[in-house]
Amino acid sequence: MNKNLLKHSFLVLILSLFAVQFTFAGPPFFTDDPQTVDFKHWEYYISSVNTFQANGSTGTLPHFEVNYGLVPNVQVHLLVPVNYSSSKTEGFTMGYANTEFGVKYRFVQETDNIPQIGTFPILQIPTLKNTTFGNGQLQLFIPLWAQKTWGKLTMYGGAGYWINPGVDNKNWIFTGLETQYDISPLITLGSEIYYHTADAINSKSVGGFNVGGSVNLSVKTHIIFSTGHSLLNENYTSTYIGILWTI
């Protein structure tokens, strides 16, 4: 394998890593929370997540996400990504491989002294055969999330375990912590720090941070965004931009 092909393969590896991370994220961050969509209500997202490196970029253009409050404290989740990869040597590629389905369940309600706690199992389901953006294997993420609010300040985080079959793949652990503050009814700002173990035999653990938030144009319409950088073992910049409608 020549040097240029090695670089392109590495970019595709980074894409799959971050596509997975964002699929279980609490947009616009990698870290999620246990809060479910209200009973009989909907969330709709149209978003783009991107990872930029010296040799190119990868991400979604866009991905579509829907969440629905099926019963109190339970939401169902569907995410459909249009993936892309762009490099100086291989050019631009778009495609589709996996559909994401999940169920979030909040089993502890928040009180003055106790955080709300929940889980959000996620399935990455091979849908189209596309070796650029998927390996054709079913993947499963099993996390535990907690959240506590003090007035306008909210903190949430937790950890989860990815079952990641495939040639040279490894099961891996993700953990993250996010803090956010409601500046006003219009603006919420926050930041997170995250870490995950290696997800393949020849890869390394990765850590980083993101800062971002939301601009609340109305009760139902929100612009959400974040940007961040790696802190451990890799050198990349990540971004998220999207529109959220709540109904």
Q: Is the pLDDT of residue 18 over 70?
A: no
Report, as an integer, the average pLDDT of 69-92. Answer: 95
pLDDT at 25: 55
Residue 89 — pLDDT band, cuts 50, 70, 90?
confident
Residue 36 — pLDDT band, cuts 50, 70, 90?
very high
Out of 19-23, 66-70, 243-247, least confident range: 19-23
What CATH number is given to the structural domain containing 32? Answer: 2.40.160.40
Q: Is the pLDDT of residue 61 over 60?
A: yes
pLDDT at 132: 87
Whether residue 108 contacts residue 114, with contact meaning beta carbons closer than 8 Å, is answered with yes
Residue 128 DSSP label = S
Q: Is the pLDDT of residue 116 over 60?
A: yes
Percent of the chain whose predicted confidence (pLDDT) is above 90: 85
Q: Is the pTM of this model over 0.95?
A: no
Report, as an integer, the average pLDDT of 197-225. Answer: 96
Report, as an integer, the average pLDDT of 161-180. Answer: 96
What gap in Å lies between CA 180 and CA 195, rounded to an integer? 19
pLDDT at 23: 42
To the nearest 10°, the Cα dihedral for 12, 212, 193, 138?
-40
Among 174, 73, 159, CA closest to 116: 73
Q: Is the pLDDT of residue 5 over 50?
A: no
What gap in Å lies between CA 24 and CA 81, rounded to an integer? 13
Using one digit for the tens of pLDDT, what is the confidence trace for 224-242? Answer: 999 999 999 999 999 999 9
Tell me the average pLDDT of the chain. 91
Cis peptide before 72 (omega within 30 of 0): no
Residue 88 — pLDDT band, cuts 50, 70, 90?
confident
Percent of the chain whose predicted confidence (pLDDT) is above 70: 90
Domain count within the chain:
1
Report, as an integer, the average pLDDT of 124-132. Answer: 93
For 209, the domain range is: 3-246
